[in-house]
Structure 1
Amino acid sequence: MNYTNMLSHVRLCAAAAAVLVLTGCATTANNPQDPLEGYNRAVYSFNDAVDRTVLKPTATAYKKVVPGFAQTGVNNFFGNLSDAWSSINNFLQGKGEAGATDFGRVAVNSTFGIFGLLDIASEAGMQKHNEDFGQTLGKWGVPSGPYLILPLLGPSTVRDTAALPADFAGDIWTYKTPVNWRNVGTGVRIIDKRATLLDASGLMEDAALDRYEFLRDGYLQRRQSQVYDGNVPRQADDVAEPAPSETK
């Protein structure tokens, strides 16, 4: 399956998942932010099986075999590409200074950093921001909607799922030619990202009694913090936390 077909498949899965949310299927959850808990747990189990059998072993081998400087270069390269879309989203959110900084990061790292393999901009004190269209929609006042786990893509919300087509379109690597280079790069990108999460996932497996709830609550809190740039209003914070009677 080439990247274009895979992208179409992912979008179809995301759209189907959103339809399930809107039609109110499987509403058996105790958490008001997770009305589709039954469905989400099923998808979580599927994703976890794929991770345990394919992604985690591959990422573990990648981390052991590939030299550290090469892993850093891969991470920097794709991080540099993401800075371009982050810059646009900062501008869309009215954060001109952050948008200009991210744009400057791309310019500096793409030239002096050898196409982004070196993160010269961070060394120069240019702060990196990670903004996507889901955060932009949140900044515009679009509510997150219910928690939703997407096949293969993992944790999301209805708002973030609706933002995925824009995020895919804003990913420069989507337009890389020839296609075989694009596919190889996409695979390396996924493995590298999973490798960076190995330690965190190990801690979660050891510490969490219910890994599904641990992942859900952590994701929702993190996304809320990202939308408000770490300054979550008290009212929004109260809404995000379920009442004691609603917790398990």
Structure 2
Amino acid sequence: MLRNPLPSAGPARAAGAFVAAALLFAGCAKQEPGAEFNDPFETGNRAVHDANVALDRAVFGGGKPDRKPFMPAPVAEGLANFSDNLGMPSAVLNSLLQGRPDPAVRNAARFLMNTTVGIGGILDPATAVGLYAEDTDFGETLHVWGAPEGAFLVLPLAGPSTERDLAGKVVDFVIDPLNGAFPEPEKYYVAAARVGAKVADRQRYGDVIDDILYNSADSYAQMRLLYLQNRHYELGIEAEVFDPYEDPYGQ
């Protein structure tokens, strides 16, 4: 049962989150003149990337042709739908912070429909009626506000990011309207479902991820290229880019 989420995301907490974000992106590393990518931490990034790939191989059997599905496809889809639905209130808030009320209204309507008719978001009737998600995050909010992208980063477990997007992840976690909305033990079930959704995504996009991590001459460079181009596409920075989920090699 939902509780009032407002106390856990009050003004003091939100203010602290904005200060943390400012501190994080204030020192964003600048790209060297003539460099194709802003990646001054490449040596450390590659080490983290190698550790992530080793973990993926050990836990998920990444790169193995006989890899078995981790869960039935309907379960994977339901977990992904549930997790996506939980992210809608945060998307609504970020759209408002970006001065974009239209997607905020659509996402709010989508959240309401999927939470009720869609049994808590396990099903996705909103998409069936043409009410599509317009996902966003605080990293995009910072972009709209003029914050620089900063250096490319690879995070343990979480994978590729940038300094600006890392700041956005921190703020998104703190200002999420659903933080504190679930009592115990429901909040642990929700956390487990969100982790399960990440596992489900590894299964749903397994072929694309394997192509990047195990079938590339330099999986780090390939991952960096795909992440940055896709992120720029999401932010509207570059018009002539591709969606890596559609074409893992961008050709």
TM-score, length-scaled by structure 2 = 0.73
With 170-179 and 206-215 compared, the bigger mean Cα shift is at: 170-179
Match of residue 172 from structure 1: 178
SS in 1 for 2:87: helix
The one of 185, 201, 211 aligned to 1:193: 201
Q: Aligned pair 1:232/2:245, yes or no?
A: no
Mapped to 2, the partners of 1:124 and 1:193 lie a distance apart of: 24
Mapped to 2, the partners of 1:141 and 1:172 lie a distance apart of: 27
Which string of whole-angstrom CA distances, capped at 9 and with x for unpartnered residues, describes residues 63-101 of structure 1?
Answer: 736332222211111111112211211121111111110
Q: Aligned pair 1:212/2:220, yes or no?
A: yes
Post-superposition offset of 1:206: 5.7
Structure 1 114/63 Cα, relative in aligned 2: closer, same or farther at 3 Å? farther
The one of 55, 77, 85 aligned to 1:80: 85
Mapped to 2, the partners of 1:160 and 1:208 lie a distance apart of: 25
SS in 2 for 1:54: helix
Match of residue 105 from structure 1: 110
Match of residue 12 from structure 1: none
SS in 1 for 2:40: coil
Post-superposition offset of 1:233: 7.1
Q: Aligned pair 1:140/2:159, yes or no?
A: no
Asked if structure 2 preserves the Cα contact closer than 8 Å seen for 1:109 and 1:115, the reply is yes
Mapped to 2, the partners of 1:175 and 1:192 lie a distance apart of: 24
Mapped to 2, the partners of 1:232 and 1:23 lie a distance apart of: 21
The one of 210, 222, 230 aligned to 1:222: 230
Higher-helix-fraction structure: 1
Asked if structure 2 preserves the Cα contact closer than 8 Å seen for 1:224 and 1:232, the reply is yes
Post-superposition offset of 1:35: 1.1
Structure 1 41/62 Cα, relative in aligned 2: closer, same or farther at 3 Å? closer
Asked if structure 2 preserves the Cα contact closer than 8 Å seen for 1:83 and 1:102, the reply is yes
Post-superposition offset of 1:189: 2.3
Structure 1 174/225 Cα, relative in aligned 2: closer, same or farther at 3 Å? farther
Match of residue 241 from structure 1: none
Mapped to 2, the partners of 1:32 and 1:142 lie a distance apart of: 17
Asked if structure 1 preserves the Cα contact closer than 8 Å seen for 2:85 and 2:115, the reply is yes
The one of 117, 125, 138 aligned to 2:122: 117
Match of residue 240 from structure 1: none
Q: Which runs of no fewer than 5 residues in structure 2 stay unpaired?
A: 1-19, 242-251
Identity among equivalent pairs (%):
31
Match of residue 159 from structure 1: 164
The one of 47, 53, 71 aligned to 2:76: 71
Match of residue 94 from structure 1: 99
Match of residue 39 from structure 1: 44
Q: Aligned pair 1:49/2:38, yes or no?
A: no
Structure 1 42/64 Cα, relative in aligned 2: closer, same or farther at 3 Å? closer
Asked if structure 1 preserves the Cα contact closer than 8 Å seen for 2:76 and 2:201, the reply is no
Post-superposition offset of 1:42: 0.8
Mapped to 2, the partners of 1:47 and 1:216 lie a distance apart of: 14
Structure 1 143/23 Cα, relative in aligned 2: closer, same or farther at 3 Å? closer
Mapped to 2, the partners of 1:75 and 1:213 lie a distance apart of: 28
With 151-160 and 201-210 compared, the bigger mean Cα shift is at: 201-210
Q: Which runs of no fewer than 5 residues in structure 1 stay unpaired?
A: 1-14, 238-248
Post-superposition offset of 1:204: 2.2
TM-score, length-scaled by structure 1 = 0.73
Report the count of equivalent residues: 210
Q: Aligned pair 1:127/2:127, yes or no?
A: no
